[in-house]
Amino acid sequence: LAKTTQPISMDSYEGQEVNITCSHNNIATNDYITWYQQFPSQGPRFIIQGYKTKVTNEVASLFIPADRKSSTLSLPRVSLSDTAVYYCLVGLSGSARQLTFGSGTQLTVLP
Amino acid sequence: EAGVTQFPSHSVIEKGQTVTLRCDPISGHDNLYWYRRVMGKEIKFLLHFVKESKQDESGMPNNRFLAERTGGTYSTLKVQPAELEDSGVYFCASSRASGTGEMNTEAFFGQGTRLTVV
């Protein structure tokens, strides 16, 4: 399982765009990149997943460069309710395998 | 559609006692996972069921932990006897079945059970 590295914490202000970058130098050919969000006292919640280039959904965008050794989660116009821990995970496609969580990034959105 | 539900939400037990955690996955999800986070550590995988079969239990810490998934529906995780280091938050997650070549299927997590062993 590929190891991921991401900042321990980030601060932002309401209305700003937040970009959280994750490095995964040992990503394998079949690995996908998935981001989860976790609020206090809740379980992690899927945000977005991608394999290469760019993926966008109603919540976030995920940018993956050609070498796939890193990825950037972009949250547009954050609000106070986006304060949470964000996890970058890398894992195999195909059968649903176990998820390997790192330390995550604690995002704090300030008013 | 109901999400993944876990019971109880909190449990405080004495060292040496037995505790059973329950997880009800999303209906129709073949995959069921147990994870836990002990104080100050990362969320760690415990085991994975596919229907009623244990697919991977490499994360189970020791034989004091026993997981079952009767009939491929709900799952229980029993800790017997509980030790102080078992304190933490136990998460259950479920996902639908996937075929080869598909993207990782999204895992839906429950709220977790906070276990405190005193």
With beta carbons under 8 A apart, name residues in chain B contacting A104: 42
CB contact under 8 A, A49 and B102: no
- Measured between its terminal Cα atoms, the distance across chain B in Å is 37
Nearest to B56 among A44, A98, A101 (CB): A98
Question: Average pLDDT of each block of 10 consecutive residues along chain A (111 residues)?
Answer: 87 97 91 92 92 93 96 96 95 64 94 94
Does residue B56 belong to the interface with chain A, where contact is any CB pair within 8 Å? yes
Buried b (16+ CB within 10 A) or exposed e, B93-104: bbbeebeeeeeb
Contact A22, A89 (CB under 8 A): no
8 Å CB contact of B100 and A41: no
Is pLDDT above 50 for B70?
A: yes
The predicted pLDDT at position B105 comes to: 66
| B91 touches A at CB < 8 Å | yes
- Which candidate, B82, A9, A85, B96, places its Cα nearest to that of B113? B82
Question: A64-95: per-residue pLDDT in tens?
Answer: 999 999 999 999 999 999 999 999 998 865 44
CB-nearest to A49 from B45, B48, B104 is: B104
pLDDT of amino acid B34: 96
Q: In whole angstroms, how far apart are CA A11 and each of A7, A36, A44, A109, B86?
A: 11, 18, 20, 6, 33
Among the partner-chain residues A43, A93, A99, the one whose CB lies closest to the CB of B102 is A93
In the block, tokens 């977790």 appear at B112
Contact A98 B109 (CB under 8 A): no
> CA–CA separation, B93 vs B3, rounded Å?
10
Rounded CA-CA distance A33/A50 in Å is 5
Cβ–Cβ under 8 Å, residues A93 and B104: yes
Q: In this complex, is the C-beta atom of B17 within 8 Å of any C-beta atom belonging to chain A?
A: no
